[in-house]
Amino acid sequence: MTNKTILRIEALLRCLADGRFHSGESLAEQLEVSRTAVWKLIQKIISWQVNIYSVRGKGYKIPGGLKLLDAEFLSGALVNNHHFTQVDVLTSIDSTADYIARKWKQEPFKGRVCIAEHQTAGRGRKGRPWVSPFGANLYFSIAVQLPLGLSALGGISLAVGISLAKTLNHLTTEPVKIKWPNDLLLNNQKLAGILVEAIGDSNDSSFLNIGVGINWDMQLNQGQSIDQPWANLCDIVSKQLTRSEVLAKLLVGIDKTLTLYQASGFTPFVSSWQSLSALYMQPVTIFTPQGKVEGKEVGIENNGALRLETIDGIQIFHSGEVSLRKRRIDR
């Protein structure tokens, strides 16, 4: 999409955000394009899973309107952040993770966050797609340079997960838990996922790309699917709080977490992890490329690896290619 198209779509979305009918003619006038061009832009927005009604003689309307992210508010809220103060709020992008990696390659920076209303190619862990309808959820990537070698970063995605869960638990009516290594759960259903990628291979400085997707009000279209049950944050936060307000609190929390991690590593997070883990002291199965291992989740190492009590004794698992599932005990 060209910049001009994006700007026109943004103008169109701002008009339709009020939830009222707007005639094709008035939209064409405001955008200074033809009615056919308006129709084409509308089709594009519909392809992003925005529900647009069109009624002959009345025009177009988004039922219920739209509550768009507030870029100005977000920039203001992050101005005192230590690790990332630059905020890019995008209407649509392939993936915030890829966007920020491209920016870094063009011109390295110290820290930056990219937030998008919509992703056309959102990526989850293990090459899975991350379904990213427009305006429905939270999708963001933080890129930071830390004076730590890659080997010191084993616990960073867990520390970010702990930070997210702690912030959310101040805002929600039901407890948000974490599932090793990278998920947030609400009532055992997936609320959010974290994808951390490290760029560069230096021993004493790393560039981290921390991607977070949080379901706010995820609704699937026909033909779409997500391979596990999911939960929505809007069901458990006060209706007074906007997506931007919640996001700002989460980002400030992550900034503080990065400072603590940089100073002391994962150690200060271990006790929080135990109290937040959905499966602590529970029977679980770990799936590895070599097969499955059954045991009880008994803790976390200082490098973020999981401790499992098995019939052969304590075994340690690093994230990566392994996955974890709660095990039912047959009586």
Length of the chain, in residues: 331
Task: Give the C-alpha separation, 81 to 187, whole Å.
Answer: 32
Nearer to ligand BTN, 120 or 310 (CB): 120
Of 112, 125, 166, 243, the active-site residue reads 125
- Report the nearest approach of ligand BTN to the CB of residue 216 (Å): 12
Based on the residue annotation, tell me whether 20 is a catalytic residue of this protein. Answer: no
* Three-class SS state of 263: helix
> 62 vs 114, which CB is nearer to ligand BTN?
114
| Binding positions for ligand BTN, rule: CB under 6 A | 95-97, 119, 122-125, 128, 130, 139-141, 182-183, 193-195, 211-213
Closest residue to ligand BTN, based on beta-carbon distance: 193
Secondary structure (DSSP) of 3-50: HHHHHHHHHHHHHHTT-S-B-HHHHHHHHTS-HHHHHHHHHHHHHTT-
> Cβ 93 to ligand BTN, closest distance in Å?
9
Q: How far is the CB of 96 from ligand BTN (least distance, A)?
A: 4
Q: Is residue 125 among the annotated active site residues? A: yes
Residue 245 and residue 67 in contact, taking contact as beta carbons nearer than 8 Å: no
For this structure, is 328 an active site residue?
A: no
Considering beta carbons, is residue 167 or 215 the nearer one to ligand BTN? 215
The SS3 call for residue 288 is strand
Least distance in angstroms from the C-beta of 123 to ligand BTN: 4
Name the one residue in this structure whose structure tokens are 């033809």. 34
By beta-carbon proximity to ligand BTN, the closer residue of 16 and 196 is: 196
CB contact at 8 A, 43 and 9: no
Structure tokens at 272: 């929080």
Catalytic residues: 125, 190, 325
